[in-house]
Amino acid sequence: MSSLQWDGWLANTQKRVSPNFNARPSGEVDLLVVHCISLPEGSYGGPWVDKLFLNQIRGNEHPSFADLEGLEVSAHFFITRDGRLSQYVSCLERAWHAGLSSFNGRSNCNDFSLGVELEGCDEDGYEKIQYQVLVDLVKQLQGYFPALTLDRIVGHEHIAPGRKTDPGPHFAWQKFREELEKA
Protein backbone atom coordinates (compact mmCIF):
# COMPACT_ATOMS: atom_id res chain seq x y z
CA MET A 1 0.00 0.00 0.00
CA SER A 2 1.35 3.39 -0.94
CA SER A 3 1.68 6.18 1.59
CA LEU A 4 0.90 8.64 -1.20
CA GLN A 5 -2.21 10.57 -0.33
CA TRP A 6 -4.86 11.52 -2.87
CA ASP A 7 -3.37 14.99 -3.25
CA GLY A 8 0.09 13.79 -4.28
CA TRP A 9 1.82 14.49 -0.96
CA LEU A 10 3.73 11.70 0.78
CA ALA A 11 2.86 11.26 4.43
CA ASN A 12 6.48 10.61 5.52
CA THR A 13 7.93 13.92 4.34
CA GLN A 14 8.32 17.38 5.74
CA LYS A 15 5.78 19.32 3.68
CA ARG A 16 7.11 22.67 2.43
CA VAL A 17 4.82 24.18 -0.23
CA SER A 18 6.72 25.89 -3.03
CA PRO A 19 4.90 28.45 -5.19
CA ASN A 20 6.95 27.24 -8.16
CA PHE A 21 4.71 24.70 -9.85
CA ASN A 22 1.79 24.43 -12.24
CA ALA A 23 -0.52 21.82 -13.71
CA ARG A 24 0.83 18.96 -15.76
CA PRO A 25 -0.50 19.12 -19.33
CA SER A 26 -1.58 15.47 -19.32
CA GLY A 27 -1.29 14.38 -15.70
CA GLU A 28 1.19 11.73 -16.84
CA VAL A 29 4.18 10.77 -14.65
CA ASP A 30 6.62 8.30 -16.17
CA LEU A 31 10.09 9.69 -15.42
CA LEU A 32 12.08 10.43 -12.27
CA VAL A 33 15.01 12.85 -12.47
CA VAL A 34 17.79 12.80 -9.85
CA HIS A 35 19.53 16.14 -9.25
CA CYS A 36 22.00 17.54 -6.76
CA ILE A 37 22.08 20.93 -5.13
CA SER A 38 24.09 22.73 -2.49
CA LEU A 39 24.00 26.39 -1.54
CA PRO A 40 26.52 27.88 -1.50
CA GLU A 41 28.13 25.33 -3.82
CA GLY A 42 29.72 22.57 -1.75
CA SER A 43 28.20 23.77 1.55
CA TYR A 44 25.72 21.57 3.36
CA GLY A 45 23.21 21.87 6.15
CA GLY A 46 22.06 25.45 5.80
CA PRO A 47 18.59 26.86 5.09
CA TRP A 48 19.43 27.98 1.55
CA VAL A 49 17.91 25.21 -0.58
CA ASP A 50 14.67 25.50 1.34
CA LYS A 51 14.72 29.28 0.91
CA LEU A 52 15.45 28.93 -2.82
CA PHE A 53 12.48 26.61 -3.43
CA LEU A 54 10.22 28.89 -1.36
CA ASN A 55 11.34 32.09 -3.17
CA GLN A 56 12.84 33.46 0.05
CA ILE A 57 16.50 33.63 -0.91
CA ARG A 58 18.07 37.09 -1.16
CA GLY A 59 21.01 37.96 -3.36
CA ASN A 60 22.81 39.78 -0.55
CA GLU A 61 22.84 36.74 1.78
CA HIS A 62 25.92 35.29 0.06
CA PRO A 63 28.03 36.50 -2.88
CA SER A 64 27.07 33.44 -4.96
CA PHE A 65 23.35 34.13 -4.50
CA ALA A 66 23.21 37.27 -6.66
CA ASP A 67 21.70 35.40 -9.61
CA LEU A 68 19.33 33.34 -7.46
CA GLU A 69 17.08 36.10 -6.12
CA GLY A 70 13.83 35.99 -8.04
CA LEU A 71 14.67 32.64 -9.66
CA GLU A 72 11.59 30.42 -9.67
CA VAL A 73 12.66 26.79 -9.30
CA SER A 74 11.48 23.81 -7.34
CA ALA A 75 11.68 20.06 -7.06
CA HIS A 76 9.19 17.58 -5.76
CA PHE A 77 11.62 16.21 -3.15
CA PHE A 78 14.85 17.12 -1.37
CA ILE A 79 17.01 14.64 0.57
CA THR A 80 19.58 16.18 2.93
CA ARG A 81 22.99 14.69 3.73
CA ASP A 82 21.55 13.28 6.97
CA GLY A 83 18.56 11.71 5.22
CA ARG A 84 15.77 14.17 5.96
CA LEU A 85 13.14 14.12 3.23
CA SER A 86 11.17 17.24 2.32
CA GLN A 87 8.48 17.62 -0.32
CA TYR A 88 7.84 20.96 -2.06
CA VAL A 89 5.34 20.14 -4.81
CA SER A 90 2.54 17.58 -5.06
CA CYS A 91 3.46 14.67 -7.32
CA LEU A 92 0.29 15.44 -9.25
CA GLU A 93 1.64 18.89 -10.21
CA ARG A 94 4.58 19.95 -12.39
CA ALA A 95 7.62 21.16 -10.43
CA TRP A 96 10.12 23.42 -12.18
CA HIS A 97 13.32 21.36 -11.93
CA ALA A 98 14.41 20.11 -15.36
CA GLY A 99 14.46 23.22 -17.54
CA LEU A 100 15.34 22.72 -21.19
CA SER A 101 15.36 18.92 -21.39
CA SER A 102 14.51 15.86 -23.46
CA PHE A 103 14.02 12.15 -22.77
CA ASN A 104 13.51 9.56 -25.51
CA GLY A 105 12.61 12.29 -27.99
CA ARG A 106 10.10 13.99 -25.68
CA SER A 107 10.96 17.54 -24.70
CA ASN A 108 10.08 19.51 -21.56
CA CYS A 109 10.61 16.74 -19.01
CA ASN A 110 8.92 18.78 -16.28
CA ASP A 111 5.62 17.86 -17.95
CA PHE A 112 5.94 14.15 -17.14
CA SER A 113 8.61 13.78 -14.45
CA LEU A 114 9.21 13.94 -10.73
CA GLY A 115 12.32 15.78 -9.55
CA VAL A 116 14.39 14.63 -6.57
CA GLU A 117 17.24 16.83 -5.33
CA LEU A 118 20.03 15.29 -3.28
CA GLU A 119 22.02 17.63 -1.09
CA GLY A 120 25.40 17.45 -2.75
CA CYS A 121 27.55 18.64 -5.61
CA ASP A 122 29.34 17.11 -8.55
CA GLU A 123 32.65 17.02 -6.66
CA ASP A 124 31.43 14.99 -3.65
CA GLY A 125 30.01 11.54 -3.14
CA TYR A 126 26.66 10.99 -1.48
CA GLU A 127 25.90 9.60 1.95
CA LYS A 128 24.66 6.04 2.47
CA ILE A 129 21.51 7.36 4.16
CA GLN A 130 20.72 9.47 1.07
CA TYR A 131 20.76 6.36 -1.11
CA GLN A 132 18.56 4.52 1.42
CA VAL A 133 16.02 7.34 1.53
CA LEU A 134 16.08 7.65 -2.27
CA VAL A 135 15.45 3.90 -2.70
CA ASP A 136 12.57 4.01 -0.19
CA LEU A 137 11.13 7.08 -1.89
CA VAL A 138 11.30 5.53 -5.37
CA LYS A 139 9.65 2.33 -4.12
CA GLN A 140 6.78 4.38 -2.65
CA LEU A 141 6.42 6.39 -5.84
CA GLN A 142 6.44 3.27 -8.02
CA GLY A 143 3.42 2.06 -6.05
CA TYR A 144 1.53 5.08 -7.30
CA PHE A 145 3.24 5.57 -10.67
CA PRO A 146 4.01 2.07 -12.04
CA ALA A 147 5.60 3.54 -15.19
CA LEU A 148 8.60 4.65 -13.05
CA THR A 149 10.62 1.59 -14.03
CA LEU A 150 14.35 1.35 -13.53
CA ASP A 151 15.09 2.59 -17.05
CA ARG A 152 12.97 5.69 -16.42
CA ILE A 153 15.06 6.92 -13.47
CA VAL A 154 17.75 9.24 -14.81
CA GLY A 155 20.05 12.07 -13.82
CA HIS A 156 19.63 15.68 -14.84
CA GLU A 157 22.80 15.13 -16.87
CA HIS A 158 20.98 12.53 -18.99
CA ILE A 159 18.06 14.77 -19.99
CA ALA A 160 20.07 17.98 -20.42
CA PRO A 161 23.50 16.82 -21.64
CA GLY A 162 26.01 19.58 -22.14
CA ARG A 163 23.89 21.90 -20.00
CA LYS A 164 23.75 20.00 -16.71
CA THR A 165 26.14 17.58 -14.99
CA ASP A 166 24.21 16.51 -11.90
CA PRO A 167 24.02 14.35 -9.94
CA GLY A 168 27.60 14.03 -11.13
CA PRO A 169 30.30 11.39 -11.49
CA HIS A 170 30.18 10.38 -7.82
CA PHE A 171 26.55 9.24 -7.90
CA ALA A 172 26.72 5.42 -7.71
CA TRP A 173 24.15 4.50 -10.37
CA GLN A 174 24.93 0.79 -10.34
CA LYS A 175 24.76 0.53 -6.54
CA PHE A 176 21.53 2.57 -6.49
CA ARG A 177 19.90 0.34 -9.14
CA GLU A 178 20.99 -2.83 -7.35
CA GLU A 179 19.54 -1.57 -4.06
CA LEU A 180 16.32 -0.55 -5.80
CA GLU A 181 15.94 -4.02 -7.39
CA LYS A 182 16.49 -5.67 -3.98
CA ALA A 183 13.99 -3.47 -2.15
Q: What is the pLDDT of residues 114-155, one digit of tens each?
A: 999 999 999 999 999 999 999 999 999 999 999 999 999 999
Residue 24 lies in a domain: yes
Catalytic residue among 28, 41, 61, 117: 117
Q: Are 77 and 88 in contact (CB under 8 A)?
A: yes
* pLDDT of 1 strictly over 50: no
Q: What is the pLDDT of residues 39-80, one digit of tens each?
A: 999 999 999 999 999 999 999 999 999 999 999 999 999 999
Q: Are 109 and 159 in contact (CB under 8 A)?
A: yes
Query: Which CATH number fits the domain that encloses residue 21?
Result: 3.40.80.10
Residue 5 lies in a domain: no
What is the residue range of 134's domain? 14-182
Q: What is the pLDDT of residues 151-168, one digit of tens each?
A: 999 999 999 999 999 999
**Arithmetic mean of pLDDT, 90-119:** 98
Looking at the structure of the chain, the number of domains it has is 1
pLDDT number for residue 54: 98
Residue 7 lies in a domain: no
Residue 41 lies in a domain: yes
**Arithmetic mean of pLDDT, 98-115:** 98
* pLDDT of 3 strictly over 60: no
Q: Distance between CA atoms of 137 and 55, rounded to whole angstroms? A: 25
- Specify whether 123 is catalytic: no
Residue 35 lies in a domain: yes
Cα-based torsion angle of the residue sequence 158, 34, 52, 119 in order, rounded to the nearest 10 degrees: -120
pTM for this prediction: 0.95
pLDDT number for residue 178: 97
Residue 78 lies in a domain: yes
Q: Where are the beta strands (DSSP E) in 19-169?
A: 21-23, 31-37, 77-79, 85-87, 93-95, 102-103, 106-107, 113-119, 153-155
Residue 6 lies in a domain: no
pLDDT number for residue 6: 64
Picking from 15-19, 25-29, 100-104, which range would have the lowest pLDDT averaged per residue? 25-29
Residue 144 lies in a domain: yes
pLDDT number for residue 183: 86
pLDDT number for residue 2: 46
